[in-house]
A = this chain, B = another copy of it.
Amino acid sequence: MARKFVYFFGGGKAEGKGDMKELLGGKGAGLAEMTNIGLPVPAGFTITTEVCDHYYKISKKYPQGFEAELKKNLSKLEKLVGKKLGDPNDPLLVSVRSGAARSMPGMMETILNLGLNDQSVEGLSKKTSNRRFALDAYRRFITMYGSTAMGVPRHKFDVEFDDIKERLTRVRLNVPRNRPILDTDVNETELENLIPRLKAVYKENTKKDFPQKPEEQLTGAIDAVIGSWMAEKAVTYRRVEKITGLLGTAVNVVQMVFGNMGDNSGTGVCFTRDPNTGENIFYGDLLMNAQGEDVVAGIRTPIHLNDLERIMPKVYKQLTQVRTRLEKHYKEMQDIEFTIEDGKLYILQCRTGKRSPMAAFKIAVDMVKERLITKQDALLRLTDKDIEGLFYPVIDPTIPMEELKHNLFATGIAAVPGAAAGKVVFTAKEAEDWTAHGKIVILVRKETSPEDVGGMHAAKGILTATGGKTSHAAVVARGWGKCCVVGCEDLVIDYEAKTVSVGNTVIKQGDEVTINGSTGEVFKNALKLRKPELPDAYNTLMQWADQIRNLKVRTNVDTPYDAENAIRLGAEGIGLCRTEHMFFDTDERRMAIQRMIISEDEETRRKSLDELLPFQRKDFIGILRAMDGKPVTIRLIDPPLHEFVPHTENEQKHLAQRLGLPFHQVKRRIERLHEANPMLGHRGSRLCITYPEILDMQVRAIMEAACECQKKNIKVFPEIMLPLIIDVKELSILADRARKVAEKVMKEENVKFKYLVGTMIEVPRAALLADQIATVAEFFSFGTNDLTQMTLGMSRDDAGRFLPDYVDEKKTGILKNDPFQSLDQDGVGLLIKMAIEKGRKTKSDLKIGICGEHGGDPSSVEFCHRNNFDYVSCSPFRVPIARLAAAQASLKYPVKKAAKKPVKAKAKAKKK
């Protein structure tokens, strides 16, 4: 049987179908689908991708029988529409567009208004009673056809048109002084003069007259579209986007319709539900007697759909039927473009409609209630961006673009979403002081360190000149969901003058700024913000998510306050409680930790640690109480000691004075703490190997806190976590010591409860030797921040200088994503899989979690689900995101639920 080369659609039925994308391209299949479900789509036909394939395979020739089929379909179209191509009275015009099975936006050619010639342009003019429109359409057609089909450089046509516009700039008929001349300002007469000039350009460059025969125009246009498939830019695009396996492009020849054919014509856009609120109402507006570009020009004010109901009740009714039809068919809120030509409704396009986060939740939940979709569909439809959008304040979207532009000061890296406005301060201390006096401040620093944590907490937002998305500032801010922009490299910060400047613009301490952590933008002045709100639909949806997911979701928090907040956001435990931030909470604590570090003898160290113990215990009590029996993983001290001490001479002098030590001694000790690569230095469990008394104090504080809670009938489940382990012997030495202290405290307090001792897997060597490490560890928690840094040999604080080149698909595309944002599944992921396999080989019920920044990234959460993690842990504000992502992962990769194993709690607790 001969192949079919052309598929017709129109008059309520189509030869093609929605699932024939490979053959008809995305656009062709869509047009067929819409036709088949009864939408009033302009008629036309699609030339298959096989024709394109044949064309390139057989030395640029069309297959036998194709031309006959093309002719037949054109006649069919003319008959159906009742107009003829090139008709001098009422011509049929068509568009000729490319359309492959995968979208390649802007890569291939389109020719509109085909069918116009010196005669038919008059017919169009008469029929539309708009000569300017007809001439303008003709002008466009000549330009598009000349440049696209015949390869005349586009600018040769453009200069002719620009020449006219330039003249108008001088004359300015009916054009306000301060507005540039638009295409629409060019009047009928001007266009009439332009046409012959364009035709002359055409002739000069092609040595042929502009074709007046519509058939010739059509063949030329089809050649052009098929030719564009192999144009260099399209070939490059497919290579870069790794698009392979396509036959070629299809060609869509479609009847053109016009909304400016008089008062019973019009054009508009509508949504099947309210895209802002999600309410189930018909939402949209249109311009009567207008076409698309009039809407863009914004000269006339559109009318609402209600007005259409009044003016053209039949058309309105038809449109509401389309609305119902479409939602039933696509089971999604649709964004519909339509045109009314001479009282006849045409649907030009429909696609899934964009919506606000709040609307996304409402629509999803409503559609489940309406039985349009299942709960599973609803869950799979929402994204992390939707959740983020609910939680963070945003810059008031009604602020005009010009105002924003005018205030834009600099752009950095969007680290923590949301927006904040406040007065600029440059030190953590000022941030605390000013906030104490009721002021709202934005803390601006070159970079932040653990010393700044107090001030960071006080500030409404944080802005740094250096660092990436996982720099100290970003990580800490993310933990609190506090708006943060980092790596704003253009900022020149002068701490002494207390100014921050970009070029000649200087912002002084106390001046107001607004930062947008969702975009990285920094604005002068305090812009108006909109508060976040949580709709009912959010709660409904999260409940569904919780019922479905297999992964537990914990949180990374360091304070009782944050722990309570995380519980409200749905956290099921703490996956990472960093104990070092606690040392900075008050001046007293800071002094004790600094004395410990400066001291060079064990006795002073022990004394200072004894001072710190009650503080840590107090914090742990608060955290354990908030978690009420949920697992709480507490990591022992991690950062290198030099992060705890001041680095300017003044601060050091001050410290020396307070410690009653000579300045040079303090200075020397701090100098000795300096490290070339602190990330790979004396930190993590290495500190406890050198100073085991730190471990003793911390474990004691944890266990005393737990005992106290238990005595007050608050359930506890502490998990002591040792960071930066590289060897089973190292872990075994420290775990033994920790267990000894723990048992001792429980004996002293005469209290018993289950606790675990485990380790972070954050150094490649630990992952490689996970089978050995699992003989001692009762749980693994993958510290994917450091594991990523070490596996890729990439410091997150320094990567800003080159990582963008690595992630930029256009430049190199070496990495698919920023590996500090989304887990590098190919590299780091491989190591994690290996570690899990090895670890569970040793201990089949080994508890496995993740506590790096990746624990809140949807695709990383999916990775964790697929690799049988027990839980993910992330900052409180990402807990809902992780809950949703975990549910989505469970839906995409269902797990057979094994019969619940009896919990081996006792056996585990005894392993020592």
Contact = CB atoms under 8 A, between A and B. Distances in A.
A661 interface: no
A19 B233 CA distance: 81
Contact of A790 (B724, B764, B828): B764
Residue from A677, A678, A679, A799 with most neighbouring chain B CB atoms (10 Å) = A677
Given A677-B677, A768-B830, A795-B680, A690 B802 contact: yes
Contacts of A813: 729
Contact of A729 (B676, B680, B762, B814): B814
Interface stretch (A62-70, A273-281, A681-689): A681-689
A679 to B, nearest CB: 4
A812 interface: yes
A853 interface: no
A462 to B, nearest CB: 18
A662 interface: no
Contacts of A433: none
Interface in A827-841: 827-828, 830-831
Contacts of A232: none
A831 B827 CA distance: 13
A811 to B, nearest CB: 8
A406 to B, nearest CB: 28
A169 interface: no
Interface in A736-779: 762-765, 768-769
Contacts of A769: 826-827, 830
Contacts of A682: 798, 801-802
A793 B802 CA distance: 21
A833 to B, nearest CB: 10
A737 to B, nearest CB: 11
Contact of A795 (B677, B727, B827): B677
Nearest to A800: B682
A733 interface: yes
A285 interface: no
Interface in A19-33: none
B768 A791 contact: yes
A150 B724 CA distance: 50
Contacts of A795: 675-681
A802 B689 contact: yes
Interface in A663-695: 672, 675-682, 686, 689-690
A117 interface: no
Contacts of A679: 676-677, 680, 793, 795
A502 to B, nearest CB: 14
Contacts of A762: 793
A789 interface: yes
A295 interface: no
A681 B797 CA distance: 8
Contacts of A263: none
A805 interface: yes
Contacts of A799: 681
Nearest to A826: B769
Given A764-B764, A768-B827, A828-B765, A676 B797 contact: yes
A351 to B, nearest CB: 33
A476 to B, nearest CB: 16
Contact of A798 (B677, B793, B830): B677
Contacts of A790: 680, 764, 790-791, 793
Given A733-B814, A769-B830, A680 B793 contact: yes
Given A690-B805, A802-B682, A793 B812 contact: no
A815 interface: yes
Interface in A779-812: 786, 789-795, 797-799, 801-802, 805-806, 812
Interface in A190-236: none
Contacts of A675: 795, 797-798
A678 B729 contact: no
Nearest to A827: B765
A730 interface: yes
A726 interface: yes
Interface residues of A, number: 50
A727 to B, nearest CB: 5
Contacts of A489: 672
A722 to B, nearest CB: 13
Nearest to A828: B765
A765 B786 contact: no
Nearest to A676: B797
Contacts of A730: 806, 812, 814
A669 to B, nearest CB: 12
A253 to B, nearest CB: 41
Given A791-B765, A830-B769, A677 B797 contact: yes
A205 to B, nearest CB: 36
Contacts of A768: 791, 827, 830-831
Contacts of A792: 726, 763-765
B764 A689 contact: no
Contacts of A672: 489
A794 B680 contact: yes
A812 B729 contact: yes
Interface in A497-531: none
Contact of A680 (B686, B789, B827): B789
Nearest to A762: B793
A798 B678 contact: yes
A806 B830 CA distance: 28
A347 B729 CA distance: 45
B733 A793 contact: no
A315 to B, nearest CB: 54
Contacts of A724: 793
Contacts of A676: 678-679, 795, 797-798
Nearest to A727: B814
Contacts of A831: 764, 768
A826 to B, nearest CB: 7
Residue from A726, A824, A831 with most neighbouring chain B CB atoms (10 Å) = A726
A824 B765 CA distance: 10
Nearest to A447: B676
Residue from A489, A765, A799, A827 with most neighbouring chain B CB atoms (10 Å) = A765
A391 to B, nearest CB: 31
A812 B733 contact: yes
Interface in A686-713: 686, 689-690
Contacts of A689: 802, 805-806, 812, 814
Nearest to A489: B672
A652 to B, nearest CB: 17
Given A680-B793, A764-B791, 13 more contacts: A675-B795, A676-B679, A676-B795, A677-B797, A680-B798, A689-B812, A726-B792, A727-B814, A730-B806, A730-B814, A763-B793, A764-B764, A768-B791
The 10 residue pairs across chains A and B that have the minimum distance between CB atoms: A677-B795, A680-B795, A763-B793, A765-B827, A681-B798, A676-B797, A675-B798, A677-B679, A764-B764, A677-B677
12 contacts: A677-B679, A677-B680, A678-B798, A680-B795, A680-B798, A681-B798, A689-B814, A730-B806, A764-B831, A765-B828, A768-B831, A769-B830
